[in-house]
Amino acid sequence: MESKKKQMRILVVLASYNGAKYIKEQIDSILNQKGAEVHIVVFDDVSKDGTLAIVNSFKEDKRIQLIVNNRPTGSAANNFFGAIKFLDKDFISQYDFVSFADQDDIWLPNKLLAATEKLTEENSSLYFSNLILWNEKTNKKSIINKSYPQKKYDYLFEGGSAGCTYVFTSDFCIKLKNTLEVTDYENWKFFSHDWFVYFFARANNYQISIDNNAFILYRIHDSNVHGQLNSNSFFALTERLKMVRQGWYIENIKGFVELLPKVSKERYIYELYSKNVLTRFFILLRYNFSLMRSSKKFIQFFMVSILPVKLKK
């Protein structure tokens, strides 16, 4: 008789803030994952709506735990990383894998099973995938492609995928926790946890699995400003351009460069990209398509990089 396949134990860190409208549907979709033993820890950023009451309605389910932050962290990125810092290393070690979850998406039933199987088969530490962009108003669905092949220096200027697709080993999580404890990300302008996790993985030579399938309904709605930036709407394009002109890349470089060796090609690229328009132009020509995984995105990156940047002093 064949032995029953062991279910992986997965810790799901869910960041919530005023998510009463959608969070029950998301929690249900996580609890209904196939082939995985799931434990959800909800870190609430001091919600003022009915979020806490909804999460507490699951209190009889031992798979769910609620932790309310002492003070608002101010962003989902800070909430996620505050959660990683809060969790004890021994607690994290009880699990095979860790995953991030937004409060307003819906996970398809095999999301975690597909991720853990790929991580195990490829002996990887970090997994991410494509997403299904779901416009709540129109009910239109389309694929957000994040499965482009890696390029040598892509992590210097972009993340892997949306953080809600990330699944990583508990060992990776503990190493990430160690780095977060000595990183001042709370004062990091334009900070992105999606990008940071990918940067951390690449800078430390972790094996990464990229899935061209999509297992998340990534909901776009009026309150989800960050999510709307992943669409191709006029609003999204103008907002992304505005952020670049306000120093999106330059401000992130200030933080990431501190995580690099004092002498390295990566630091050299950062220093010349940040110095002035001429040195930036040189870096774009010299390293070109090795800076972005998508050729189309690199062309856009090239064009916005030569625009003047207005940094606030």
Handedness of CA 81, 218, 23, 8 (dihedral sign): negative
**What tokens does 307 get?**
């625009």
Strand-pair partners of 67: 43
Instruction: Judge whether residue 1 has pLDDT over 60.
Output: no
Give Cβ neighbours of residue 73 (< 8 Å, ≥ 6 apart).
Answer: 45, 79, 82, 186
The pLDDT value given to residue 19: 96
Buried b / exposed e over 87-114, threshold 16 CB at 10 Å, is beeeebeebbbbbbbbbbbbbbeebbbb
Percent of the chain with pLDDT over 70: 92
The pLDDT value given to residue 2: 47
Contact 44, 16 (CB under 8 A): yes
pLDDT tens column, 91-140 = 999 999 999 999 999 999 999 999 999 999 999 999 999 999 998 889 99
pLDDT interval class at 298 (50, 70, 90):
very high
The CA distance from 252 to 191, in Å, is 7
Model-wide pTM > 0.85: yes
The pLDDT value given to residue 225: 52
Look at residue 59 and give its three-state secondary structure: coil
Average pLDDT, the chain: 92
The pLDDT value given to residue 311: 63
Pairing label, strands 8-16, 97-101: parallel
The closest of 141, 160, 153, 158 to 211, measured between CA atoms, is 160
Instruction: Judge whether residue 70 has pLDDT over 80.
Output: yes
Instruction: Judge whether residue 214 has pLDDT over 60.
Output: yes
pLDDT tens column, 239-251 = 777 888 888 999 9
